[in-house]
A and B are shown apart, each in its own frame.
Chain A
């Protein structure tokens, strides 16, 4: 019950703070701008959709992790979280709802951006729909995993960070790079998608478990 309530509340917060609108409008616009700004020959034969999906995905992972860390550190530091913690809400529910709300929000923004990317590729490049979506599945999975890893790491960082600035620096140079570091070797050594998913999921779960454990003991 409390998990559903706090998740809805977090989603409501994104909606009310207009962050959702900015994301859902901003990332698709970025996909359109990419089409006009990136010279066609620099893509070296990579379909525009795939290029856009990788770029939007990496931006999405960065945005999600920074948003999550800023949100949590702010609420801890200004003590607004206290009013939730003195109520019958499990601490892990609060973390899970923040993670889920950010993840969901940025995922929808990425999907919208990809849809726009595909549309642009088909309409302006004359690429067939089939060709435009080659490798899209794998690229989407990679994006989701990168977001998962960077968000889990961001939660862990936020719980220990004394200020928003430190959290953001650590997330950008730690969490976000970690997600790329984990994904890249798996891709290079031609591991299967299933293996990539397994390794990344385990990493996410370990970091989430650590974050929950630390948050249970964290004085707010």
Chain B
């Protein structure tokens, strides 16, 4: 199903005196994969619950494809996977999926084949007749994901979809999300696993203390990750020259007997400074074992925008 957009306007939510969401503005266009990252208690789950209508008592407005999220027309277009999906104990995998598909208005015949398709896609078809009480945490997580995509929703809201999965299963889910994006499904997800966000999100929002502190395209964040002011230099023969005197070098920290971390002055081209360093070392009778710019990880960017609050 083609995607629908999500617009969040001045969203605020308080519990008694504590404001957990503060005036969030967010536009997620149709077909985008949007990752919401932030520390525990930052407001990720509350935001997602507002989008899917589980929390209805909030200030502001949420529009799903231009219609209020509180209306009944939008609910069938949304698929939601909670952080720790739970199912009533008497159900088995098949029965759990069947009731959800039926409630989404799926025809019984189509539903049965769709259940098989989704279970195969997630590699849990062997668990089809297993009671949910006998499933491992990872399989339950996959079942939670299965029920969210069963009715092919145009908007998929996933709360920590990969939190208790092994690397192979995480790759599987990432692949499915990428396929859904290609088919035009809008995906909004929260995650603590930054590498997953890096791999699948088109855009990322960093949320902290209930506010979006940074919003950017993944490409821009990746560019920011590549933009570095630090150079690691390791010399095989150290001429003991004053590296700080090289134009463009701001400061030099000694990190080993013949290794240094060099900070480039703002506004200077890091590649040019690297060339100058190599030239100066070689001309002074030294030789370079390695020199490379220190790239930031997504975690560094995340911490920077979070103001140092640990993940």
Chain A interface (Cβ < 8 Å from any Cβ of B): 1-2, 5-6, 9, 12-13, 16-17, 75, 78-80, 82-89, 217, 219-220
Contact = CB atoms under 8 A, between A and B. Distances in A.
Interface of B: 52-57, 72, 75-76, 78, 80, 82, 84-91, 95, 99-100, 102-105, 147
Given A82-B82, A219-B54, A219-B57, A87 B103 contact: yes
Contacts of B72: 88
Contact of B90 (A5, A17, A79, A87): A17
Given A87-B100, A87-B104, A13 B88 contact: yes
Contacts of A75: 88
Q: Count chain B CB atoms within 10 A of each CB in A2, A83, A219 and give the residue with the most.
A: A83
B78 A217 contact: no
Nearest to A13: B90
A86 B53 contact: yes
Contacts of B55: 219
A17 B89 CA distance: 8
A49 B286 CA distance: 107
B54 A82 contact: yes
Contacts of B78: 86
Given A13-B91, A85-B53, A88-B72, 4 more contacts: A5-B102, A83-B87, A89-B103, A220-B54
Secondary structure type dominating chain A contacts:
helix
Nearest to B81: A83
Nearest to B96: A83
Given A5-B99, A219-B54, A16 B90 contact: yes
Secondary structure type dominating chain B contacts:
loop
Nearest to B151: A87
A25 B54 CA distance: 39
Nearest to B73: A88
B75 A79 contact: no
Contacts of A84: 103
Contacts of B56: 217, 219
Contacts of A6: 103
Given A17-B89, A79-B86, A80-B88, A85 B103 contact: no
Nearest to A84: B103
Contacts of B87: 80, 83
A82 B102 CA distance: 16
A89 B75 CA distance: 9
Contacts of B84: 79
A86 to B, nearest CB: 4
Given A9-B99, A80-B86, A87 B75 contact: yes
Q: Count chain A CB atoms within 10 A of each CB in B84, B88, B147 and give the residue with the most.
A: B88
A134 B99 CA distance: 45
B160 to A, nearest CB: 13
12 contacts: A1-B105, A2-B103, A5-B99, A9-B99, A13-B90, A75-B88, A82-B54, A83-B85, A85-B54, A86-B78, A87-B100, A89-B103
A5 B88 contact: no
